[in-house]
Amino acid sequence: MINIEWHNPSFTPGNSDFDIPEYSARGSMYGVSGIPHTQWNGVEETVGGYANGNWEAFIGTFTALYNSMIDDDTPYAIEINGYAGADVSYDVTVSMDADMSNSNQKVDIFVVEDNIWSYWTGASQYHNARNVARDWLATEDLNISGSGESETFSGSFSLNDDWNSDSVRIIAIVQNYSSKQVYQVTQVNINDMNPDIDDDGILNGDDNCIDIYNPNQEDSDDDLIGDVCDPCDNLVYVLGNLSGDANNLGDPVLDIMDILTLVDFLITGESHECQDPVMNINDDEHINIVDVIALVQIILNTSN
């Protein structure tokens, strides 16, 4: 079970910095009014508590909710990797082992700090605050929907000087923003992330191909993407070489296939990421028949 504590500014231990602006957005999402409020998997809630922080009185209710959800099936798995240095960089990868619609499915990424020994005025005692929300980093659309697919969400954040970095965690969830159902969640201490995912000796923050072993970091076109994972080698995908073909020396080849590919784009509007930067032959910011004519002239002049 993974939890996040969100602290209402009106009910926050004195002299603490537990309340953050993101509380209002998260509270509004669930219609939080009464405090304390618990939200289980986004769809079941409890409101209210007992005097003097008597949490034992709620154990039966919480246990019943937990047992009702523990065996729920989910097609999602989440893995968090990254590198903790002066700043923390992260990669949250969501993968699927069964088909499921991605309609209204979002990936939320949070930063929390665990094990904060804090005085709670309402209970007149100290207690151990667990997974206190420190930042709501991102909300991203989940675009995958089929078994075997995966999607990675990357970002970074700075560590606050007031946080204990040994207790800082990243939590990622998959949640449906219509039903509010949480379908998967995972967490990792920032010091337990794999700093070198592909084991090539280059830390993730410096690796130009994070997921593919390339210890020499070859980057022929100097675009900061290593050759082994570069889908668009700029030494080959030069202006006009829409097919991305090259001769036995590795030099780009412009020929009739590039003309046909450009014409096909004008008809269908379909292209891929490597072709888009090399289609505007006359550099007028418009791709049309004039570019086809210009490409024909380039190829004829080259042939002569």
Query: Residues 257-267: pLDDT tens digits?
Result: 999 999 999 99
Confidence of residue 304 (pLDDT cuts 50, 70, 90): low
How many C-alpha atoms does 190 have within 13 Å on its Cβ side?
25
pLDDT of residue 28: 95
Number of folded domains that form the chain: 2
Identify whether 226 is part of a domain.
no
Dmax (CA) for the chain in angstroms is 91
Domain boundary among 189, 223, 252: 189
pLDDT of residue 46: 92
Contact 255, 298 (CB under 8 A): no
Residues in the chain: 304
- Indicate whether 173 and 242 sit together in one domain: no
Q: What is the CATH number of the domain that holds 271?
A: 1.10.1330.10
Identify whether 155 is part of a domain.
yes
Q: Among 45, 14, 10, 37, which Cα is nearest to 180's?
A: 45
Identify whether 285 is part of a domain.
yes
Q: What is the CATH number of the domain that holds 178?
A: 2.60.40.10
State mean pLDDT over 269-283.
92
Q: Is 80 exceeded by the pLDDT of residue 205?
A: no
- Indicate whether 180 and 258 sit together in one domain: no
| Mean pLDDT estimate for the chain | 91
Domain boundary among 155, 189, 223: 189
- Indicate whether 167 and 18 sit together in one domain: yes
3-state DSSP assignment of residue 157: strand
Contact 84, 193 (CB under 8 A): yes
- Indicate whether 251 and 177 sit together in one domain: no
Give Cα 48 distance to the centre of its chain. 34
- Indicate whether 93 and 240 sit together in one domain: no
Identify whether 3 is part of a domain.
no
Q: Among 145, 67, 159, which Cα is nearest to 111's?
A: 159
Could you list the residue range(s) of the whole structural domain that residue 90 is in?
Answer: 9-189
Identify whether 162 is part of a domain.
yes
The residues, any chain, with a CB within 8 Å of residue 9's CB and separated by 6 or more, are 19, 23
Question: For residue 160, what is the DSSP state?
Answer: P
Domain boundary among 189, 217, 239: 189
- Indicate whether 178 and 34 sit together in one domain: yes
How many C-alpha atoms does 294 have within 13 Å on its Cβ side?
17
pLDDT digits (tens, 9 = 90+) for 90-129: 999 999 999 999 999 999 999 999 999 988 876 778 888 9
**Checking DSSP bridges between strand 116-120 and strand 125-129, what pairing results, if any?**
antiparallel
Q: Is 80 exceeded by the pLDDT of residue 14?
A: no
- Indicate whether 158 and 297 sit together in one domain: no
pLDDT of residue 48: 87
State mean pLDDT over 151-172.
95
- Indicate whether 107 and 239 sit together in one domain: no
Q: Is 90 exceeded by the pLDDT of residue 170?
A: yes
- Indicate whether 131 and 251 sit together in one domain: no
- Indicate whether 56 and 126 sit together in one domain: yes
Identify whether 258 is part of a domain.
yes
- Indicate whether 118 and 250 sit together in one domain: no
Identify whether 278 is part of a domain.
yes
Q: Is 90 exceeded by the pLDDT of residue 156?
A: yes
- Indicate whether 20 and 76 sit together in one domain: yes
Identify whether 42 is part of a domain.
yes
The residues, any chain, with a CB within 8 Å of residue 225's CB and separated by 6 or more, are 208, 209, 219
